């Protein structure tokens, strides 16, 4: 897997541990000559992972909606820019350009991207997985919900086919090899 898509927060108000982990992932991507594919924003975890990837020698693909350009909030770490109309277009490009996707801490946008990717996989539109990096237990409640969906018979494709779970950088990178 060479092109790693990352879904994560654009917020600058999250706990420091999340920014440090974003930088660790970026360093790993760069040191391992991987390409980061992400949303192109110059804030939050998005910027932290992009800058760290670039600094460590990796390539950065930014999928940039028109709104980011209008707001002047496009990262300067991007090597190759894919311009798109809106968030729906961005989701499609992120999946198309990535071999696998990582969901880091984020909010409704991150979850929307991850869920859309998982739903399309479940439907047979692609076979790309989303690996949730459960930093500091961030996704514990979500995992409980997913497990409950399985217990209730609402899931017809095994979760392992559409998603992975990682609690540490080592667990995450093992799934990205």
Domain boundaries, the chain: 3-176
Predicted TM-score (pTM) of this structure: 0.95
Nearest to 118, CA basis, from 5, 29, 3:
5
Whether 61 shows a pLDDT value over 80: the answer reads yes
3-class DSSP assignment, residue 12: coil
Spatial CA neighbour of 107 closest among 72, 75, 139: 139
DSSP conformation class of 79:
S
Q: Indicate the angle between helix axes 87-97 and 108-122, nearest 10 degrees.
A: 60
Per-residue pLDDT of 27-52, as tens digits, reads 999 999 999 999 999 999 999 999 99
> What angle in degrees, to the nearest 10, is found between the helix axes of 16-31 and 44-55?
30
Sequence-ordered list of residues with C-beta below 8 angstroms from that of 54, at least 6 positions apart, any chain: 26, 30, 60, 77, 79
Q: Does the 3-176 domain belong in CATH 3.40.50.450?
A: yes
Read off the pLDDT band of 1 (50, 70, 90): confident
């Amino acid at each position: 897997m060479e092109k790693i898509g990352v879904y994560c927060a654009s917020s600058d108000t999250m706990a420091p541990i999340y920014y440090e982990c974003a930088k660790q992932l970026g360093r790993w991507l760069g040191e391992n000559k991987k390409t980061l594919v992400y949303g192109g924003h110059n804030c939050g975890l998005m910027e932290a992972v992009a800058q760290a990837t670039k600094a460590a020698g990796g390539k950065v693909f930014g999928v940039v909606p028109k709104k980011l350009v209008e707001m002047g909030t496009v990262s300067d770490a991007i090597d190759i820019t894919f311009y798109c109309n809106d968030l729906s277009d961005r989701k499609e490009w992120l999946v198309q350009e990535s071999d696998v996707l990582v969901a880091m801490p984020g909010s409704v946008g991150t979850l929307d991207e991850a869920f859309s990717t998982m739903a399309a996989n479940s439907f047979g539109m692609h076979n790309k997985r989303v690996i949730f990096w459960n930093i500091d237990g961030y996704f514990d409640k979500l995992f409980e919900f997913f497990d409950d969906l399985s217990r209730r018979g609402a899931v017809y494709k095994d979760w392992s086919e559409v998603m992975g779970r990682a609690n540490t950088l080592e667990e995450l990178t093992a799934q990205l090899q």
